[in-house]
């Protein structure tokens, strides 16, 4: 757990004069499960977009495995091994859940890692779907995404990222909109993936669940990093308390 996989240095981003991210720096070690919390509008999703190339920073640098990826295109960053989910689910709506995974399984990254032609794509896709809780022998994996309930689409986001065989997985509020039982069944999956060595950066509003599995938590408020500590101590931090100021309950339900 010593090698640094992601290094963020002095990241800044303004949207039309509104500071979304202010001088944020942090590191993620290989194999770490890092949580990122903060009240609504504190810049969490902007940070994810900056790390994955969907938004270009005004200043600052992002290094992934020692390579400067600042301002690189999202497809380049994905190709290098950073996969992300979207807070607002973005499946390929007119394709089945199964086909949603075939697309990343055809990606250049997977072909490079697994060799150009391999015949078991269908099996890999269905295994991944089963992993995240799709009923393998039912018709659910073959229903078009637009007809699936929200909880399934959230888990499809996760499966789609895993299909890319990432080295760094970024989850943008994966649990939001999931039922209690869905969260309860997804939590062990994330724990297991992390246990297998996958580095995970987890933006989350469900603090109780996050604190149970995270090694370390960073708190953002108005775009600035206000705390960086183990999960057991983060809510003791005065700045974090002030930021959440009674909105903690609401945050957990969101």
Residues that bind other proteins (CB under 8 A): 52, 54, 73-75, 78-79, 83-84, 86, 90-95, 99, 102-104, 106-109, 160, 164
Buried b (16+ CB within 10 A) or exposed e, 71-87: ebeeeebbebbbbbbbb
CA 131, distance to chain mean position in Å, is 17
Which residues lie below 8 Å from residue 118, measured CB to CB, with a gap of 6+?
A: none
Nearer to other proteins, 19 or 144 (CB): 144
Shortest Å distance, C-beta 52 to other proteins: 7
Nearer to other proteins, 163 or 240 (CB): 163
Nearer to other proteins, 95 or 187 (CB): 95
CA 139, distance to chain mean position in Å, is 28
Structure token digits, residue 207? 């603090």
Nearer to other proteins, 126 or 207 (CB): 126
Nearer to other proteins, 169 or 234 (CB): 169
Which residues lie below 8 Å from residue 186, measured CB to CB, with a gap of 6+?
A: 132, 133, 154, 155, 158, 174, 175, 178
Shortest Å distance, C-beta 78 to other proteins: 4
Shortest Å distance, C-beta 151 to other proteins: 18
Rounded to a whole number of angstroms, the CA Rg of the chain reads 18
Distance CA 158, CA 176 (A): 13
Q: How many residues are there in the chain?
A: 254
Shortest Å distance, C-beta 101 to other proteins: 10
Nearer to other proteins, 176 or 221 (CB): 176
Shortest Å distance, C-beta 19 to other proteins: 24
**Strand pairing partners for 34?**
201, 216
Shortest Å distance, C-beta 202 to other proteins: 17
């Amino acid at each position: 757990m010593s090698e640094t996989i992601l290094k963020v240095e002095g990241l800044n981003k303004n949207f039309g004069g509104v500071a979304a991210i202010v001088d944020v720096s942090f590191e993620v070690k290989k194999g770490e499960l890092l949580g990122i919390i903060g009240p609504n509008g504190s810049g969490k999703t902007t940070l994810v977009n900056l790390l994955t190339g969907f938004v270009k920073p005004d200043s600052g640098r992002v290094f992934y495995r020692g390579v400067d990826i600042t301002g690189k295109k999202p497809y380049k960053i994905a190709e290098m091994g950073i996969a992300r989910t979207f807070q607002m689910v973005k499946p390929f709506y007119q394709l089945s859940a199964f086909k949603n995974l075939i697309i990343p399984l055809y990606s250049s990254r997977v072909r490079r890692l697994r060799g150009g032609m391999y015949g078991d794509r269908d099996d890999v896709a269905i295994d991944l779907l089963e992993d995240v809780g799709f009923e393998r022998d039912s018709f659910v994996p073959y229903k078009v995404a637009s007809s699936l309930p929200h909880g399934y689409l959230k888990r499809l986001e996760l499966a789609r990222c895993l299909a890319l065989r990432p080295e760094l997985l970024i989850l943008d509020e994966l649990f939001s909109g999931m039922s209690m039982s869905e969260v309860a069944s997804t939590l062990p999956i994330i724990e297991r993936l992390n246990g297998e060595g996958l580095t995970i950066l987890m933006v989350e509003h469900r603090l109780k669940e996050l604190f149970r599995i995270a090694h370390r938590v960073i708190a953002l408020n108005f775009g600035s990093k206000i705390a960086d500590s183990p999960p057991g101590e983060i809510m003791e931090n005065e700045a974090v308390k002030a930021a959440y100021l009674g909105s903690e309950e609401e945050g957990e339900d969101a």
